[in-house]
């Protein structure tokens, strides 16, 4: 094996999917193609997919409009030495739909875009401390362990999700050393309005930037993500995943006073302006609006979420809860090994089911696909209960 750690995307490793380093020939470990809500592995076996590229695909794989836009951009060369017209067109469309994005900068990954947002906040405030809630990628901002300097780790502190008292205390303790608070608006469930409003008020009080990491929630909970759903506007928003419907693109946008810091600090990437992903994202955004994708995800995802909640109640020895929202949900297993067995049993029956947060539906999923998935998960749980 030449790829270090099996694959370059950690959540696609066999041990992440099934809890097995060597899952054997009856389980999928590499794929050849994808279309709609399905993928095919390197053995030609077909699977209904609830991972949807870790939530990066909300329209379904190989959506015709998105693929057509990407092909047309490829035929024009795909990349070049000047800023592409697609960059400003997409930025303008995003600002039209999400008016709180006064100015926008594009990058390739969500982790990169969160790091850029924090750098903008630090440049604007002249401060270094950051409070965070949720997962913000693998970069040094919120990761610990070997390879991350202790001095870098010391500038970051995690705060609990939806805990107003502890959040207020953490912000007030950091006070005039605080550059930013960056949160995922959804962590296993919806936030309270009170928590979001407290974040807004307390960051304004101490002069820190409030950043919403909407890599998962953008264009999924609503076209405008969590900001649109709950009405609290942060200083910066990070977008990714569904923005490009599987094409590599992320963005940080928000208050112009913060984005103007790009003239003082350095945020750049050679391929941030290849125009295939930009064109694909423009098509994906337009389709999301025209087809009412968030409403579909809420309806079909609600069917999945209710079914998982029912199964959690029927298998209490194996499952403790069905956390999340209709648009992004999962089963919380009482034991990691059980989760691995269920995911493996589901795959053997033609379903890719994530044993941890989250499973995602797409526009290509309908009631039939959800009912098939729930039936498979029930069979897998029944099999696991006999072990």
Mean pLDDT for each consecutive 10-residue tract of the chain (387 residues)? 95 96 95 98 98 98 98 98 98 98 98 98 98 92 81 92 98 98 98 98 98 98 98 98 98 98 97 98 98 98 98 98 98 97 98 98 98 98 95
Res 145: pLDDT: 82
Q: What's the domain range around 152?
A: 64-290
Res 372: pLDDT: 98
Res 1: pLDDT: 80
Whether residue 109 is found in the same domain as residue 129: yes
Do β-strands 209-214 and 328-329 pair in parallel, antiparallel, or remain unpaired? Answer: unpaired
Whether residue 79 is found in the same domain as residue 220: yes
Res 142: pLDDT: 65
Whether residue 140 is found in the same domain as residue 285: yes
Whether residue 191 is found in the same domain as residue 235: yes
Question: CATH number of the domain that 371 lies in?
Answer: 3.90.1150.10
Whether residue 30 is found in the same domain as residue 45: yes
Across the chain, where does the E strand assignment appear? 31-35, 38-41, 46-49, 103-107, 129-133, 156-158, 178-183, 209-214, 236-239, 250-254, 319-321, 324-325, 328-329, 332-333, 351-352
Res 364: pLDDT: 98
Question: CATH number of the domain that 163 lies in?
Answer: 3.40.640.10
Counted domains in the chain: 2
Which of 261, 290, 319 terminates a domain? The answer is: 290
Question: The whole model's pTM is what?
Answer: 0.97
State whether residue 140 is helix, strand or coil: coil
Question: What tokens does 76 get?
Answer: 């024009």
Question: How distant, in Å, are the alpha carbons of 107, 226, 238 from that of 219?
Answer: 17, 9, 12
Res 143: pLDDT: 67
Find the Cα–Cα–Cα–Cα dihedral 371, 376, 382, 387, rounded to 10°.
-160
């Amino acid at each position: 094996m030449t790829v270090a750690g099996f694959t370059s995307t950690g959540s696609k490793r066999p041990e992440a999917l099934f809890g097995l380093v060597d899952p054997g020939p009856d389980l999928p470990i590499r794929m050849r193609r994808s279309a709609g809500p399905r993928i095919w592995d390197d053995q030609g076996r077909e699977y209904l997919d609830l991972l949807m590229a870790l939530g990066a695909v909300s329209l379904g794989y190989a959506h015709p409009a998105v693929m057509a836009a990407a092909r047309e951009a490829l035929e024009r060369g795909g990349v070049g030495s000047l800023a592409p017209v697609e960059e400003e067109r997409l930025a303008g469309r995003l600002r039209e739909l999400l008016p709180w994005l006064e100015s926008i900068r594009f990058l390739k990954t969500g982790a990169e875009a969160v790091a850029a947002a924090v750098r903008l906040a630090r440049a604007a405030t002249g401060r270094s401390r950051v409070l965070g809630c949720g997962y913000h990628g693998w970069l040094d901002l919120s990761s610990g362990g070997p390879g991350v300097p202790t001095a870098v780790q010391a500038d970051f502190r995690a705060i609990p999700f939806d805990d107003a008292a502890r959040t207020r205390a953490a912000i007030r303790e950091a006070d005039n050393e605080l550059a930013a608070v960056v949160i995922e608006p959804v962590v296993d469930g919806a936030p309270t309005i009170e928590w979001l409003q407290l974040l807004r008020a307390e960051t304004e009080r101490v002069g820190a930037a409030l950043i919403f990491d909407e890599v998962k929630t953008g264009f999924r909970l609503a076209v405008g993500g969590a900001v649109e759903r709950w009405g609290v506007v942060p200083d910066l928003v990070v977008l990714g995943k569904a923005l490009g419907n599987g094409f590599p693109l992320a963005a940080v946008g928000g208050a112009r006073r913060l984005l103007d810091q790009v003239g003082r600090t350095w945020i750049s990437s050679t391929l941030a302006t290849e125009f295939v992903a930009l064109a694909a994202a423009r098509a994906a955004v337009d389709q999301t609006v025209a087809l009412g994708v968030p409403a579909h995800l809420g309806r079909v995802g609600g069917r999945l979420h209710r079914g998982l909640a029912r199964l959690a109640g029927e298998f209490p020895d194996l499952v403790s809860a069905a956390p999340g929202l209709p648009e992004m949900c999962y089963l919380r297993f009482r034991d990691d090994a059980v989760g691995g067995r269920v995911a493996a049993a589901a795959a053997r029956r033609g379903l890719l089911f994530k044993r941890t947060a989250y499973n995602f539906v797409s526009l290509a999923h309908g009631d039939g696909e959800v009912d098939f998935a729930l039936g498979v998960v029930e069979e897998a749980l029944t099999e696991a209960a006999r072990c």
